[in-house]
Structure 1
Amino acid sequence: MPHWSDYSTGERIKILRGKHMSQQQLANKTKLALPTIRAAEQNRRLSLPTLLKIANALSVDTSVILGQQAPRRSMEQDDRSTLRYISSSVHDTAAGFLPGDTEPVAAEDLSRATEKAWSLYWAGDYQELGAVLGPLLRDAAVTAQTLDGDAAHPVLGYLSDGYQIAACVANLFGARDLAYSSIGHSRSAAIAAGDPLRTARVDSARSWVYLRDGRLQRSMEVAEAAASEIEPRYSDQGAERLTVYGNLLNHCAVTAARLEDDDRTGDFLSRLHAVGARLGRERDFHGARFGPHTATTQAVGINVTIGKPGKALKLIESVKPAHLTGLADAARNRYQLDVAMAQADAKLFDAALDTLEGVLHDAPQWSRHQALPAVIVQKIGNASTARLRRVSELIGVPAIPVDGYAPATVKTAL
């Protein structure tokens, strides 16, 4: 029996569509023309906006359509072990199945463990993160049981962060059920901690879970409601509130772009830049990272999504190497993928391969959980060069023409 990656992209779309959905029904659901669906299933045309719409209609990650993962998520052994350990830690802690010999720990120790967990998450070191998360959840839950009233609030906050990080990892790995349950536990703990900003930060992550699950309207509702709840007054210069608010606006802008609502996307982008300017520099609060450079780099990806590579390239020109040093590894890597996509859209194929290969070599563990590398390779097309074949092999997806064109030559230029 063939592996999922052995099928062509068009064959995978057809298989996912199944016998109970016709091409016309898929076209209706995506609001795409029937010839576009036919072309996609014949491997003749698959732009990024088309891919996103089909993935949303079929309720799968784009990486499933591109063959990077099977419909039942295909992961490496280390990833599967990490996810299994995180899952058991989340469910056991939430159910109260805690080791009887576990002793309460000092709040300062929990604070350090939480900071380390966030740092590992943003660095993309998921194996070590899994080893940290289990004890963090256990120790925070045991310690919270020994405290009452206000004394318990900080510990409940750390417990909320632990659940939230677990939800983010599960969401990235495609374990949607675990992501939903973890983010629910995180929100309950944040509310119990009496921390509105932490609750809003959890809602930002919850919005992302909905987004990855193709529930775009729900994603927008959650992020927009949370942003409205904590919107700072113009005179409010509190860095923590501005950071969480900016993070939520980013989710709103991304979702609006996916919904193809250009007016709202533009409005959210304007507000993003305004909040970034008010912050003045990059900030980190409860795992939310935001600042002026985050606003600009995120705007690059959003303009790529809405089909404006020219505007994205102009923004890229304004981003200096020093601006990227304050970003988390994951944010920096994602920005580089957006740069490569903008370059590919503009038919700057050599530059796109340069940028993409750099990310794949610098962050291989992080890259294998991303769908965009395969989109970029397919955008570049089936060029007869060892360079393109090598990059294709790195991500496990064959290079095929996309959008009806392929470069005549691709010279040596994640």
Structure 2
Amino acid sequence: MAQWSDYTTGERIKILRGKERQTDLAERTGLSVVTIQKAEQDRALSLPTLMKIADALNTDTSVILGQQAPRRSIGGRDRAMMRALSRVVHDTAAGLVTADEESTLQELEEVTGRCWGLYWKGHYTEAGALAAPLVASAAALVHAAPVGAQAPALGVLSDAYRIAGYVANLTGARDLAYAAIGHAQTVAERACDDVRGALVASGRAWVYLRDARLPEALNLAEKAAVDIEPRFSTATPEQLTVYGSHVNFAAVVASRMGDKGRAADYLSQSHAAGARMGREHRAHGTLFGPVTATTQAVGISVALGQAGKALALADSIHDVSALTEAARNRYAMDKALAQADAKMWDASLDTLEGVLRDSPEWGRHQALPGVIVEKVGKASTARLRRVSELIGVRSGAESFAPATARTAL
């Protein structure tokens, strides 16, 4: 029996479409019938097109690209982590508070920091495994705190729910992601914490983005940014970090929608915040500064179809050591995509292979490597096959080969 990854991208779309007509799928996606036909003929897919098709077929982009089977075949360790995380998120939200031992606020803040550290290294399974007891302990601390003195504990609980939502979103557990982000919002409101409230709103916008709900994602991202916009003359590094990350994300969403004007406007604000800060700064589980603003601009330029501009920006970036590991990886992936768009096939595959070998745990949760391989297409090289093996899909050369040739490969 053929494995899911044995099919081409076009074949997987056909299978997921089932008996539905191409015209019906085109109508639900807002794409043309010709675009659907080209997708099923294994023509190169743009990321926005891929996301629209995935949304219409009620699946994840990684499923269409063959990185995951339709029922999301994740490893046993991942499944155990997600099961434990799901139980504690739903149980604590229902008021079922249990913790193995009492923890102090300072201890839980330290654990929160470790969770974010794992998350930004791309160690999502480990971050989720640590987030589960963190949620339970934070809920217990809130329950034990006197009425009127619960705000600090509520802040930690909101952060814990947000981490759970982020991990769930990246691993394709969309229902849990929505639930965790919703609980984080409720808790932040109870704490009367505007900064955390804005962070949660931005997190929900990210869930929308992964779920291909682009207009809603942009509206929410814009509102979150406006709600916390500081006065630059008096803003603290913490305020600028949170604000800068928000306008950056708004620019990302606008670029995915093809709105160059709004993307440029938010990028301008992002660069202004980064310039004001002078260096990267951490706050509330996020990192922002001038390097973040510039590297994000590379990905935004790629999404807008401006590969030349993206590569010019990349050439101006000489040191990304201040970024988190995940941010460095994402920047390299955006650079690889820009190189692919510019038909710099070997350079693109070199960049992509470097990221996947250095950070395999991070890479296996990303859809972009499959998009890049699809763009490289028929380039029949040993490098293309190596990269394809790293992400668990067939290379373009193999996808377009006759059946007999595929067997030989």
The answer, yes or no, to whether TM exceeds 0.5 is yes
Cα separation, 1, equivalents of 2:18 and 2:263: 34
Contact 1:9/1:43 (<8 A) preserved: yes
Deviations 1:203-242 (A, max 9, x none): 1111100111111111112111111111112323222221
CA distance in 2 between counterparts of 1:198 and 1:244 reads 9
- Is this contact kept in 1: 2:280–2:288, CA < 8 A? yes
Separation in structure 2 between the aligned mates of residue 151 and residue 112 of structure 1, nearest angstrom: 20
Query: In the alignment, is residue 346 of structure 1 matched against residue 342 of structure 2?
Result: yes
Letter in 2 for 1:67: G
Output the amino acid matched with 2:64. I
CA–CA distance in 1 between the matches of 2:91 and 2:306? 47
Counterpart residue type for residue 75 of structure 1? I
* Paired letter, 2:358: D
Amino acid across the alignment from 2:54: A
Q: Deviations over 1:353-404 (max 9, x none)?
A: 11111111110011001011111112112323222111111111112269x9
Query: Partners in 2 of 1:140 and 1:44 — Cα distance?
Result: 49
Matched residue of 2:287: which SS?
Answer: strand
2-side partners of 1:238 and 1:231: how far apart? 12
2:160 is paired with a residue whose SS is: helix
- SS of residue paired to 1:370: coil
User: Aligned-pair distance for 1:102?
Assistant: 4.3
**2:77 is equivalent to residue 78 of structure 1:** yes
Report matched runs for 1:120-131 at 5 Å: 120-131=118-129
> 1:134 aligns to what?
132
* Aligned equivalent of 1:383, options 379, 387, 392: 379
Find the counterpart in structure 1 of residue 366 from structure 2.
370
Residues 314-368 of structure 1 show CA distances to partners (whole Å, capped at 9, x for unaligned) of: 10011112xx111111111111100111111111111111111111111001100
Residue of structure 1 aligned with 2:116, choices 115, 118, 123: 118
1:284 match: secondary structure: strand
* In structure 2, C-alpha distance between the alignment counterparts of 1:127 and 1:50, rounded to whole Å: 29
Counterpart CA distance in 1 for 2:37 and 2:125 is 41
1:222-233 equivalences under 5 Å are 222-233=220-231
Change (3 A) 1:33 1:138: closer
Aligned residues: 399
Paired AA for residue 362 in structure 1: D
Q: Which residue of 1 aligns with 2:14?
A: 14
Kindly report structure 1 stretches of 4+ aligned residues shifted beyond 4 Å: none
Conserved in 2, the CA contact under 8 Å of 1:36 and 1:45?
Answer: no
Check whether the contact 1:380–1:401 (CA below 8 A) recurs between aligned residues: no
**TM-score, normalised via structure 1 length:** 0.91
State how far apart, in whole Å, the 2-side matches of 1:52 and 1:257 are: 14
Residue 200 of structure 2: aligned partner: 202
Check the 8 A contact 1:9/1:65 in 2, yes or no: yes
Corresponding residue of 2:67:
68
Q: 1:284 is matched with which residue: 258, 275, 282?
A: 282
Percent identity of the aligned residues?
Answer: 57
Equivalent position of 1:326 in the other structure: 322
| RMSD, aligned CA | 1.9
**Unpaired runs of 5+ in structure 2?**
401-409
Name the aligned partner's letter for residue 123 of structure 1.
K
Counterpart amino acid of residue 90 in structure 2: H
Question: Could you tell me whether the CA contact under 8 Å between 1:273 and 1:295 is conserved in 2?
Answer: yes
Structure 1: state its 5+ residue gaps: 405-414
Shift of 1:149: 4.4
Listed as ranges, the matches of 1:43-192 within 5 Å are 43-99=42-98, 102-192=100-190
- What code does the residue aligned with 1:395 have? I
Secondary structure of the structure 2 residue equivalent to 1:289: strand
TM-score, scaled relative to structure 2: 0.93
Does structure 2 retain, via aligned residues, the 8 Å contact 1:257–1:305? yes
Distance 1:237 1:98, change over 3 A: closer
TM-fit CA distance, 1:122: 0.8
Where does residue 410 of structure 1 map in the other structure?
A: none
List per-residue Cα deviations over 1:62-83 (Å, max 9, x = no partner): 2121111123222122211221
> Do 1:284 and 1:290's aligned partners in 2 also have CA atoms closer than 8 Å?
yes
Tell which deviates more after alignment, 205-214 or 62-71. 62-71
Secondary structure class of the residue paired with 1:151: coil
* Alpha-carbon displacement from aligned partner over 1:98-134 (angstroms, at most 9, x marks no partner): 33x7443211111111111111111122333233212
C-alpha distance in structure 2 between counterparts of 1:230 and 1:78, whole Å: 38
In the alignment, is the contact (CA less than 8 A) between 2:44 and 2:377 conserved in 1?
no
Q: Residues of 1 paired with 2:17 and 2:263: CA distance? A: 30
Report how far residue 17 of structure 1 moved.
2.6
Amino acid aligned to 1:173: T
Q: Is the 8 A contact 1:379 1:401 kept in 2?
A: no
Mapped partners of 2:149, 2:100: distance in 1: 19
Separation (CA, whole Å) in 1 of partners of 2:94 and 2:168: 19
The alpha-carbon distance between structure 1 residues 24 and 236, as it changes in their structure 2 partners (threshold 3 A), is: farther
